[in-house]
Amino acid sequence: MAVFGSFSAVRAVPWLWRRAAYAAAGLRGLCPGKGYAVGPAQSPPAFGFLLDIDGVLVRGHRVIPAALDAFRRLLNAQGQLRVPVVFVTNAGNILQDSKAQELSALLGFKVEPDQVILSHSPMKLFSQYHGKRMLVSGQGPLVQNARALGFKNVLTVDELRAAFPVLDMVDLQRRPKSTPLPRNDFPAIEGVLLLGEPVRWETSLQLIMDVLLSHGNPGTGVATAPYPHLPVLASNMDLLWMAEAKMPRFGHGTFLLCLETIYHKVTGRELRYEGLMGKPSILTYQYAEDLIRQQAERRGWAAPIEKLYAVGDNPMSDVYGANLFHRYLQMTQHDRAKELGAGELWKQRPSAAQSCASILVCTGVYSPEAPGCTEPAQGGEEPPFHGHRDFSFSPGLIEASHIVNDVDEAVQLVFHKEGWAS
């Protein structure tokens, strides 16, 4: 079936994606009968899905109708998934359980918390830091999230500010009215967790810098900044995201950019991450593959899951990430170890997956109807690279394996490729 558009011939620039999205808009009705027939003797699946949430399954708080159609295909008569599915989102200021409940209500079947991967979920793997005293930055259920990830001894930026009121001086209204006594009973901080965008950025930027420059003792003065600095784990590097406003909003990637820039300007050195996770990091895809494998084992499916299909609406995170992981899977063990800059424990982890295909849908960021699709700049210049500093731009990595209208067509495409009845 040649109706599913391939992006191989499309140059990797957003306005061409948009043009391709328009071109693909006539592809509806691939399975007009919609019988959802299940083969009588279906063999165990050797493939699994990584589904993005926003722009693929939901928009705001509303489910995208194609998602309901897709799950009618994915569920058997008993309401169980026919193939392993995980939900991979870059959201982070929410609890995993809450996200699973939200998805269950929207999709009409029970989504288990361990099917949901938030941007910081792979921090569960960094057990060497779970017992350390960590400063945590973000908002929402911050401490609950850190504890759920395994961190037993965390301190928020607000708690640090309360311990050292003289550190936060930008807002004149929040400066201390008197000089507090110096304290020497403060246990040193041993690392920093950046879970998502905080509020009052000037406070968080200042106090995180203070912790890094003082090696965890912000009450002391330090002549020379220690380097390497304390370990920093960060998640969600999205520079921008689309909300109700006509223009994109700052994401956590913008906060990280500020912190990296300040650190470099002040010390002359690069801020280094012990772990940088969330899409498009390889670590997140490794983590997703592991959850898919566990899901298949629980269901008693003997066949190894060799093919992964990642469905998303954002070329810069979903397509780039899936293609990066695919490239990683094609490497030798030796090259894989070199490719990974973080996640020591996972460097040598065997992977059953042979491939990871990227499928771009048009119901989110690159929907023709949605605001925010980038137009070509005057003179045909390519738009600026919005990816993170540690992820270099490579046009090949943002070319999707396939482009379809919506997630239902994505499931049909995969079932067709795998010889499954849809």
Least distance CB 278 / Mg ion (angstroms)? 12
Residue 40, classified by CB atoms within 10 Å of its CB into exposed (0-12), middle (13-18) or buried (19+), is exposed
Report the site for Mg ion in 159-188 (rule: CB under 5 A): none
For residue 170, give every residue at least 6 positions away whose Cβ sits within 8 Å of its Cβ, in sequence order, or none: 202, 203, 206
Count CB atoms within 10 A of the CB of residue 316: 25
Q: Is 238 in the site for Mg ion (CB under 5 A)?
A: no
d(CA 138, CA 197): 5
Q: Is 52 in the site for Mg ion (CB under 5 A)?
A: yes
Q: Is 406 in the site for Mg ion (CB under 5 A)?
A: no
Least distance CB 317 / Mg ion (angstroms)? 7
Q: Where are the beta strands (DSSP E) in 281-410?
A: 307-312, 355-360, 402-403
Q: Where are the beta strands (DSSP E) in 118-262?
A: 133-137, 153-156, 191-194, 232-235, 240-241, 249-250
Angle ∠(301,302,306) on CA atoms, nearest 5: 90
Contact region with Mg ion (CB under 5 A), list: 94-102, 173-181, 306-314, 388-396: 306-314
Closest CA to 210 of 276, 165, 147: 165
Contact region with Mg ion (CB under 5 A), list: 31-39, 122-130, 261-269, 309-317: 309-317
Identity of the residue, 295 or 314, whose beta carbon is nearer to Mg ion in the bound complex = 314
Please identify which residue in 55, 138, 198, 343 interacts with Mg ion, judged by CB under 5 A: 55
Report the site for Mg ion in 352-381 (rule: CB under 5 A): 364
Closest CA to 369 of 64, 38, 50: 64
Q: How far is CA 123 from the centre of its chain?
A: 12
Contact region with Mg ion (CB under 5 A), list: 26-34, 44-52, 215-223, 402-410: 44-52
Identity of the residue, 313 or 408, whose beta carbon is nearer to Mg ion in the bound complex = 313
> Side chain identity at 374, as an amino acid letter?
T
Please identify which residue in 13, 54, 64, 123 interacts with Mg ion, judged by CB under 5 A: 54
Identity of the residue, 156 or 284, whose beta carbon is nearer to Mg ion in the bound complex = 284
Contact region with Mg ion (CB under 5 A), list: 28-36, 97-105, 246-254, 307-315: 307-315
Residue 169: CA count within 13 A, CB half-sphere: 5
Identity of the residue, 55 or 343, whose beta carbon is nearer to Mg ion in the bound complex = 55
Identity of the residue, 191 or 312, whose beta carbon is nearer to Mg ion in the bound complex = 312
Tell me how many residues contact Mg ion (CB under 5 A): 6
Contact region with Mg ion (CB under 5 A), list: 196-204, 210-218, 308-316, 344-352: 308-316
Identity of the residue, 216 or 251, whose beta carbon is nearer to Mg ion in the bound complex = 251
d(CA 199, CA 61): 23
Identity of the residue, 214 or 317, whose beta carbon is nearer to Mg ion in the bound complex = 317
d(CA 323, CA 279): 11
Least distance CB 90 / Mg ion (angstroms)? 8
Contact 401, 357 (CB under 8 A): yes
> Structure tokens of 306?
């060799």
Least distance CB 406 / Mg ion (angstroms)? 13
Contact region with Mg ion (CB under 5 A), list: 45-53, 182-190, 286-294, 413-421: 45-53
Using Cβ positions, the residue closest to Mg ion within the complex turns out to be 55
Identity of the residue, 314 or 412, whose beta carbon is nearer to Mg ion in the bound complex = 314
d(CA 398, CA 12): 6
Identity of the residue, 55 or 218, whose beta carbon is nearer to Mg ion in the bound complex = 55
Least distance CB 237 / Mg ion (angstroms)? 14
Rg (CA), the chain: 23
d(CA 334, CA 387): 26
Least distance CB 115 / Mg ion (angstroms)? 17
Please identify which residue in 313, 399, 406, 408 interacts with Mg ion, judged by CB under 5 A: 313
- Give the footprint of Mg ion on this chain (CB under 5 A): 52, 54-55, 313-314, 364
